[in-house]
Homo-oligomer: A and B are copies of this chain.
Amino acid sequence: MKNATIPYKIYLEEREMPTAWYNLRADMKTKPAPLLNPGTGKPCTAEELEHVFCADLVKQELDNDTPYFEIPEEIRSFYKMYRPSPLVRAYCLEEKLQTPAKIYYKFEGNNTSGSHKLNSASAQAYYAKKQGLVGVTTETGAGQWGTALSMACSYFGLDCKVFMVKVSYEQKPFRREVMRTYGAEVTPSPSLTTNVGKQILKEHPGTTGSLGCAISEAVEVATSTPGYRYVLGSVLNQVLLHQSIIGLETKAALDKYGVKPDIIIGCAGGGSNLGGLIAPFMGEKLRGEADYRIIAVEPASCPSFTRGVYAYDFCDTGRVCPLAKMYTLGSSFIPSANHAGGLRFHGMSSVLSELYDEGLMEARSYIQTDVFEAAVQFARVEGILPAPESSHAIRAAIDEALKCKETGEEKTIVFGLTGTGYFDLKAYEQFNDKTMTDTIPTDEDLKAGFACLPKIPQ
């Protein structure tokens, strides 16, 4: 099919869907640093992790060597409900920008959860069910992960308890309602249902919650309720493994038409989407088979890569989780209100952090008004109303395409369009009303965050 006219949307056929996830760690010369037990400073053992996570997922978490993990038949069946997802040639955007660049985006929003999160939610729910568990707990901020997990649990017949950051619970009642429709129990966090929640409410009576607090509550319930485990939608190695389906499909679709990208762009919060999208391309790069420019895009209000430090830190504000080595702003760092809730995380996947530290990828940040300007421009010509998170990648893709316009280079740009913005219309309203503001942390803000980084017991 090389040299064939490239359609607007490239859909792989079902039989062309990847049958195994790709474990990028297997090709990394320097492996990502292990999770540490914050009490002992020693790497977490499988046994320790199995108190919190499902056994099969712990295996995937700790395995830095096996290059491929077969996708179980049940998960593949689930994937067929909404995958393969389209790789779209952005002809209309190219035309609008009058750029010689060729722009493609992998669209992960064509499912009710509205994002790529379903790729890992289904896998985690499946393994929990396989282990004979009763249910799982999790936290959700913007609500995409909670929605995805609710859908997956409903499908596999598993109870699902979601701690939703209180401010989101109140501001996004529709997200909450989707979760309830899929049978999940949604609790605004902090709540009086957990010890950590009670403690936080005692110390901060009026708090509207944070992702870090919700994680702490979800972990407490998972570890104290028989038959329950905790699941997480980003950051972890296992999540990046599951999300490799995005990159594998993207590569298969491009290969089918003989297209080789020059630049690959993804937004980065905890790293699930970016890690998934770039996996097979980065693998080629690590093996010396190809070279690509890879760009992580983050909000200027939460700039872990571009202004953070590479250090061991807690994944949660409540400091109950293991320590991960990552680019971080400090687990006490509270990003200013930014509508890309999915990118408001102080840290970053250890895998991506290591790759970035080795100079194998770039990073940049944008203020949100610039991001929404790109979002609206994209929506008007490509017909998809993008999620604020995804719009960070759109902004960078447009900027790279405009550079090509200046230089006349016909570069091929691929970016990840992780989801839709149907539940983010308050943000669009602010942008349309021109009342959206931008806040960037000062150097002092960052220093305060770094000062709280944990000391590792020796």
- Chain A positions within 8 Å of B, measured between CB atoms, are 7-9, 11, 13-15, 80-82, 92, 110-112, 114, 151, 154-155, 173-174, 177-178, 180-183, 376, 379-385, 420, 422-423, 425, 428-429, 432
Question: Residue A112 contacts which of B9, B92, B112, B384 (CB distance < 8 angstroms)?
Answer: B384
Q: A11-B11, A154-B380, A380-B182 are in contact. Are A177 and B429 (CB under 8 A)?
A: yes
Contacts of A8 in B (CB 8 A): 14, 80-81
In Å, the complex CA distance between A95 and B247 comes to 31
Residues of B within 8 A of A110 (CB): 110
Q: Could you jot down 18 A-B contacts, CB within 8 Å?
A: A7-B15, A8-B14, A11-B11, A82-B383, A92-B155, A111-B384, A112-B383, A112-B420, A114-B422, A155-B380, A173-B425, A177-B425, A177-B432, A181-B376, A181-B385, A181-B428, A182-B380, A183-B380
Set of chain B residues within 8 Å of A381, measured between Cβ atoms: 155
- Distance in Å from the Cβ of A452 to the closest Cβ of chain B? 38
Inter-subunit contact B9/A385 (CB<8 Å):
no
CA distance A81 to B93 in the complex (A): 11
Bound-complex Cα distance A229 to B432 (A) = 26
Cα–Cα, bound, A45→B376 (Å): 41
- Please, which residue of chain B has its CB at the minimum distance from the CB of A8? B80
Q: Which residues of B contact A180 (CB under 8 A)?
A: 428-429, 432
**Roughly how many angstroms separate A82 CA and B423 CA in the complex, as a whole number?**
20
A173 touches which of B181, B183, B429 (Cβ 8 Å)? B429
Q: Indicate whether A181 sits within 8 Å of B379 (C-beta atoms), given known contacts A7-B13, A112-B385.
A: yes
Other A-B pairs beyond A11-B11, A81-B382, A111-B383, 6, CB < 8 Å: A7-B13, A82-B383, A112-B379, A177-B428, A177-B429, A181-B385
Q: Which listed residue (B155, B178, B425) contacts A385, Cβ 8 A?
A: B178
Closest B residue to A109 by beta carbon equals B110
Residue of B whose beta carbon sits closest to that of A12: B11
Query: In the assembled complex, which residues on chain B have CB atoms less than 8 Å from the CB atom of A420?
Result: 112
Report chain B residues within 8 Å CB of A155. 92, 380-381, 383
Tell me the complex Cα distance, A155–B110, Å: 21
Identify the 3 closest CB pairs spanning chains A and B, nearest first: A174-B425, A8-B80, A7-B14
How far is B385's CA from A183's CA once the two chains are assembled, in angstroms? 13
Contacts of A92 in B (CB 8 A): 81, 155
B80 touches A182 (CB 8 A): no
Distance between Cα atoms of A80 and B429 in the complex (Å): 28
Contacts of A382 on B, CB cut-off 8 Å?
A: 81
Give A178 Cβ to nearest chain B Cβ, in Å.
6
CB distance from A12 to the nearest CB of B (A): 10
Complex contact A80–B181 (CB within 8 A): no
Query: Whose C-beta in chain B lies nearest to the C-beta of A375?
Result: B181
A413 to nearest B CB, angstroms? 19
Question: What distance in Å separates the Cβ of A150 from its nearest Cβ neighbour in chain B?
Answer: 10
Q: Which residues of the partner chain B approach A80 to less than 8 Å between Cβ atoms? A: 7-9
Residues of chain B lying within 8 A (CB to CB) of residue A379: 112, 181-182
Instruction: Tell me whether B81 and A178 are in contact (CB under 8 A).
Output: no
* Docked CA distance A14–B7 (Å): 7
A20 CB to closest chain B CB (Å) equals 20
Least CB distance from A4 to B in Å reads 10
Tell me the bound Cα distance from A174 to B423 in angstroms: 8
User: What is the bound-complex CA distance between A154 and B378, given in angstroms?
Assistant: 11
- Whole-angstrom distance between the Cβ of A9 and the nearest chain B Cβ: 7
State the Cβ distance, A48 to closest chain B Cβ, in Å: 35
In the complex, what distance in Å separates the CA atom of A28 from the CA atom of B39? 80
Q: Within the assembled complex, what's the spacing in Å between the Cα atoms of A151 and B378? A: 12
